[in-house]
Structure 1
Amino acid sequence: MHIMHLKYLLAQFTKPNQTLSSTRILHALIIKSSLCHDPFYATKITRFYSLNNDLISARNLFDKTPQQSIYLWNSIIRAYARALKFFDAFLLFKRLLVSEIKPDNYTFACILRACSESFDFQGARVVHGRVIVSGLGLDYICNSSLVSCYSKLSLVAEASSVFLAIDEPDLVLWNAIISCYGSSGDLAKGIELFNEMLKLGKWPDGYTIVGLMTGLADQSLLKLVEVVHGFCVKCGLIMNDHVGSVLVCVYSRCKNMDLARSVFDSLLQPDLVTWSALITGFSQAGDYVNALTFFTKLLMGGASADSVLLASVLAASSQLAILGPGCEIHGYAVRHERDTKVMVSSALVDMYAKCGFLESGIRVFRNMVDRNIVSYNSVISGLGLYGRADEAFKVFEELLENGIKPDEATFSGLLCACCHAGLVNKGRQYFKRMRDEFGIQAKTEHHVYMVKILGMDGQSREAYEFIKSLHEPVHCSVWGALLSCCDACSTNELPEVIVDHLIEKKRRNRSYDVMLSNLYAGKGRWNDVRQLRVDSGGAKGKTPGISWIGV
């Protein structure tokens, strides 16, 4: 081989990445210089092909290499796993097991990662068995991969079992097991291990904190989160971008937006995940104006919103019932070719319906290439709210014809349609089908709709018997629905029975006092009205409503 070619070749192999064109030039030089039989060069070229998403060339090179080292095997298995072709990666792994070459710790690490990403529970256990058979049961790389794999699969017992069998786990292993408990929501156990790690002299890093806090969404543990936050401030870990990001996510999930905003403002360059967490947190906390404001700031900073974030801000726009921001977000989704994503299209249908433009929502629904249960639920609920029950029923039948299984939200939309259209028999039919045909357990919202369907048709006594047939405790909103029907239909005897029941169960609230007061006033029972005001502590009534017009 020419000496200049050899120098060029060696210089290129010292670079971590190559473009596809340069990889092909290297491959050609290797073939020309008769080095193609050397597994070292084949391994490098296979890796470069994989990084450039040319899996066909990588596999061709692997198949044509006569001497296949374990490094070459690892390279091609990793290539398939990286391309999310997990089935092919497992087939290669099985071929390796029956060959003369033994897998090493990196082979198992690669295939375990493929198991976690493909949610292959059984495969993970099988690979674990092969690790032990291969004599690598105490290997750090294998054990760290096992703990991480079991953690991502939420197999906490298996992850803990592997971890406890290790004599002196390093920081990577501690992070893996703490992340396992963090992702499962067991912050108490995670902190217990965290404290144990500190006692053994292992100092945490940013990944430790991220693993500890991942998956936490329980507001009752907010104090513990603040303790961890304080620890990060004292130790300087708060300057870590990953730590700041996870704190914003956790505070947002716990609906403490003041602390989430405080941490967010301290970050120099928050990433898209952090922005999304803050914006979604504002939306879920009911602060829709701030959700849209920060979304605008994100876009003005030159960032690009993904489908999840677009769905979240569309939900905020629908709650404000202002069409302008929703239309602007729709335009952004179209320009960035995200309007065809199912979650974005479904959110658009819901937004247009709640903003008073149902036809626009239906048009979006009909133009969708792929539809899921959320898409159908959005249009069924929208039609139901507008009293267009027959159309909602047709969409439901279309859903069944397409082989999609309805869920709780589907029947909430159907019962809502029956309620708004006054279709008592249809309401009974769908309530019965929900339980008997689809095995869906009725929830509070389904009970509320059934009571309204019966009560508003003048069948208050049947609605009352329906509530009495439900398992205790019956949510107070169900009783409130019956009371509102009595108010609308001027039913005489039931209101006091309902209120007595709510008093007995200690579920009475001021809104029910207002409805009962209206009933008494309508019948001229002013002494009862005055007594009710005394009993309720001088309640002034409901919070005044607010309305506006967006121009």
Structure 2
Amino acid sequence: MSSQSQLRLIINEFSKKFQTKLHSFVTKSQLARDPYFATQLVRYYSLNDDLISARKLFDVFPERSVFLWNSVIRAYAKSHHLGPASSLFSQMLSSDTKPDSFTYACLARGCSESFDTEGLRCIHGNAIVSGLGFDRVCGSTLVKAYSKAGLTFEASKLFYSIPEPDVPLWNAMLSGYGSCGYWEEGISMFNIMLRQGNRPDCYTMVALMTGVIDPGLTLVARSVHGFCLKVGLDSQSYVGCALVSMYSRCKCIASACGVFSGISEPIDLVACSSLINGYSKCGYHKEALCLFNELRMSGKKPDSVLVAIVLGSCAELSNSLYGQEVHSYVIRQGLELDIKVSSALIDMYSKCGVLDSAMTLFAKVPEKSVVSFNSVILGLGLHGFASSAFEKFNEMLEMGLKPDEVTFSALLCTCCHSGLLREGQEMFMRMKREFGVEPRTEHQVYIVKLMGMAGKLEEAFEFVMSLRRPIDSGIWGALLSCCEVHEDAHLAEVVAEKIRDNEEEERRSVYNVMLSNVYARYGKWDEVEMLRDGVSETFGGKLPGISWV
């Protein structure tokens, strides 16, 4: 029997708990002198997160091949231990064994995953000095690494310097543009790829779809889908799942369902996860729960991300019964300690009105994070327990946790529910001055609501006018709803005009309903009739409802 076959049998027989016996057996036998065995054993230790044993074996091995060097460097880089990986790389440069393209690829990948951009540039520089900077393996990995780190300029510069790039390298660059949301650059590069005679594969199309993330890109999404149909790539399950995900992100649920129904495997975990996510984002929460149930009944095991999404749908439906069923599933699968899942459970119980269960769950979280604190602060705020919410915020700061934008959304929502204008304004000021968190649209909406509901409409209007252009229609809508509450027809007309100048016809009609309500309270029935006639034409005779709660 060959030594390679012996090693495979040994590793199959010894599980992780017998690593010590495996190590002793190999080091005491003649196998310890075999470079192939040493390399495979280092890789085995790496897969089982046993870096100590991997390093011990490496340190005592006399003849270190480039494969052995690469294995131990990869083990450290993959575990995000860049310090030891860099130290080993420096030792390798001083040894008789010189790095190859895979050495640089391992280090570049590790720097990218750890978002160490300076380290990535250093690795790139060393690769160029060694003459491997334009090697296909090294170049492709560096393009991916730069792209993943958000450095698309460096990635594209390197890409265009590589002569005759192959399809995987094109895919790496397209994936980089997609992950950064640069869909226009991705489409442009895809067209160049076609003109140069390269035939795209399924990975090309998936990379291209990654950047199509906005509901306004429906036409682009359908064009990409059409190309997949034309070249016969739509039959690939991998492409089909990506199409479902793309259409879901674009909120084209009908198209997503159409693609989903055509996937060869009816209950594909990735495709189901994409569609459930799409259902949830588009407000089809009952459909999300039904598909999740089908997925569970098929024997597939959803991951923690999908479970958190489903719990979000339960929260939106205020369906605590199904939420409890999902909670039971979480316990059976051992997911209750996962940060995303535990936070989603707290959020679900809070929004379903079962605050006691939410607080009990929060108390049981062993290592509380910003995410779990955000959930409990919002839950307390929604139930009107503002003082308790602020206590949790202070507790969070005492633990050394840094609040994020979601934390301040929860705190400002709490202030809105309790009518705490002064506290809300103070928190809005602190978020940037003290914590360096830039205000987003939702934070500005809450501030406008706080000032507007307190009767400070002019002050709210001045605040909105001071914001950077373009001003989101949701902010104007919040102010318009306050004008409706306080029956300020003059300011409502001004705000409605601002919305009409920037918003699509359908959304303008929604805000016109709010303006017509203000006119109705003042008895301006001619204006009411004019506005509502226009709305009826847009919605086929049916007036939509709207809520800013």
Question: Shared fold by TM > 0.5?
Answer: yes
Query: Which residue, out of 390, 402, 412, partners 2:387?
Result: 390
Output one character per residue of 1:31-56: Cα deviation in whole Å (capped at 9) or x when no partner: 56646344344334433444455443
Q: Flag the 1:543–1:64 CA change in 2: closer, same or farther, 3 A.
A: same
Query: Which residue, out of 92, 99, 102, partners 1:96?
Result: 92
1:12 equivalent in structure 2:
6
Q: Does 1:133 align with 2:129?
A: yes
CA contact (8 A) 2:314 2:320 kept: yes
2:139 equivalent in structure 1:
143
1:340-489 paired onto structure 2 within 5 Å: 340-434=337-431, 436-443=433-440, 445-450=442-447, 452-454=449-451, 456=453, 460=455, 462-471=456-465, 473=471, 475-487=475-487
Q: CA RMSD in A?
A: 3.1
Cα distance in 2 for partners of 1:376, 1:76 equals: 39
Cα distance in 2 for partners of 1:354, 1:24 equals: 50
Query: Which residue, out of 499, 511, 514, partners 1:512?
Result: 514
Q: Flag the 1:194–1:482 CA change in 2: closer, same or farther, 3 A.
A: closer
CA contact (8 A) 2:457 2:483 kept: no
Output one character per residue of 1:223-276: Cα deviation in whole Å (capped at 9) or x when no partner: 222222222222221122221111111111111111111111222236433222
Query: Which residue, out of 217, 230, 234, partners 1:234?
Result: 230
Query: Which residue, out of 46, 58, 62, partners 1:62?
Result: 58
Instruction: State the aligned residue count.
Output: 524
- Aligned-pair identity (%): 43
* Secondary structure, counterpart of 1:370 in structure 2: coil
CA contact (8 A) 2:449 2:479 kept: no
Q: Flag the 1:67–1:531 CA change in 2: closer, same or farther, 3 A.
A: closer
1:192 equivalent in structure 2:
188
Q: Flag the 1:416–1:105 CA change in 2: closer, same or farther, 3 A.
A: closer
* Secondary structure, counterpart of 2:371 in structure 1: helix
Cα distance in 2 for partners of 1:76, 1:276 equals: 36
Q: Flag the 1:12–1:23 CA change in 2: closer, same or farther, 3 A.
A: farther
CA contact (8 A) 1:38 1:67 kept: no
Q: Flag the 1:31–1:450 CA change in 2: closer, same or farther, 3 A.
A: closer
1:494-505 paired onto structure 2 within 5 Å: 495-505=488-498
What's the offset of the Cα at 1:313? Answer: 0.6
CA contact (8 A) 1:18 1:48 kept: no
Output one character per residue of 1:315-373: Cα deviation in whole Å (capped at 9) or x when no partner: 11111112111111111111211122121122112211211212221221222122233
Output one character per residue of 1:7-63: Cα deviation in whole Å (capped at 9) or x when no partner: 353542588964536998887776566463443443344334444554433322221
CA contact (8 A) 1:517 1:529 kept: yes
What's the offset of the Cα at 1:544? Answer: 6.5
Bigger shift: 297-306 or 115-124? 115-124
Cα distance in 1 for partners of 2:167, 2:45 equals: 33
CA contact (8 A) 1:257 1:282 kept: yes
The amino acid that maps onto 1:500 is E
The amino acid that maps onto 1:395 is K
Q: Does 1:311 align with 2:296?
A: no
CA contact (8 A) 2:308 2:344 kept: yes
Bigger shift: 414-423 or 156-165? 414-423
Q: Flag the 1:183–1:64 CA change in 2: closer, same or farther, 3 A.
A: same
CA contact (8 A) 2:311 2:323 kept: yes
Structure 2, unpaired ranges of 5+: 501-507, 537-541
Q: Does 1:244 align with 2:263?
A: no
* Secondary structure, counterpart of 1:305 in structure 2: coil
Cα distance in 1 for partners of 2:442, 2:119 equals: 41
Cα distance in 2 for partners of 1:54, 1:439 equals: 39
What's the offset of the Cα at 1:88? Answer: 2.5
Output one character per residue of 1:444-482: Cα deviation in whole Å (capped at 9) or x when no partner: 55455445545555xx3x332342344255832232243
The amino acid that maps onto 1:260 is A
1:26-65 paired onto structure 2 within 5 Å: 34=30, 36-65=32-61
Query: Which residue, out of 267, 291, 295, partners 1:298?
Result: 295
Bigger shift: 44-53 or 73-82? 44-53
1:4 equivalent in structure 2:
none
Q: Flag the 1:369–1:52 CA change in 2: closer, same or farther, 3 A.
A: closer
Cα distance in 1 for partners of 2:141, 2:452 equals: 60
1:174 equivalent in structure 2:
170
* Secondary structure, counterpart of 1:61 in structure 2: helix
* Secondary structure, counterpart of 1:238 in structure 2: coil
The amino acid that maps onto 1:214 is T
Cα distance in 2 for partners of 1:143, 1:440 equals: 37
Cα distance in 2 for partners of 1:438, 1:46 equals: 44
Q: Flag the 1:44–1:379 CA change in 2: closer, same or farther, 3 A.
A: closer
Q: Flag the 1:396–1:440 CA change in 2: closer, same or farther, 3 A.
A: same
Return the index of the structure with the highest Cα Rg. 1
* Secondary structure, counterpart of 1:237 in structure 2: coil
Cα distance in 2 for partners of 1:172, 1:158 equals: 18
In the superposition, the TM-score normalised over structure 2's length comes to: 0.86
In the superposition, the TM-score normalised over structure 1's length comes to: 0.85
Q: Flag the 1:227–1:352 CA change in 2: closer, same or farther, 3 A.
A: same
What's the offset of the Cα at 1:408? Answer: 3.9
Cα distance in 1 for partners of 2:134, 2:332 equals: 53
Query: Which residue, out of 518, 521, 533, partners 1:537?
Result: 533
The amino acid that maps onto 1:20 is F
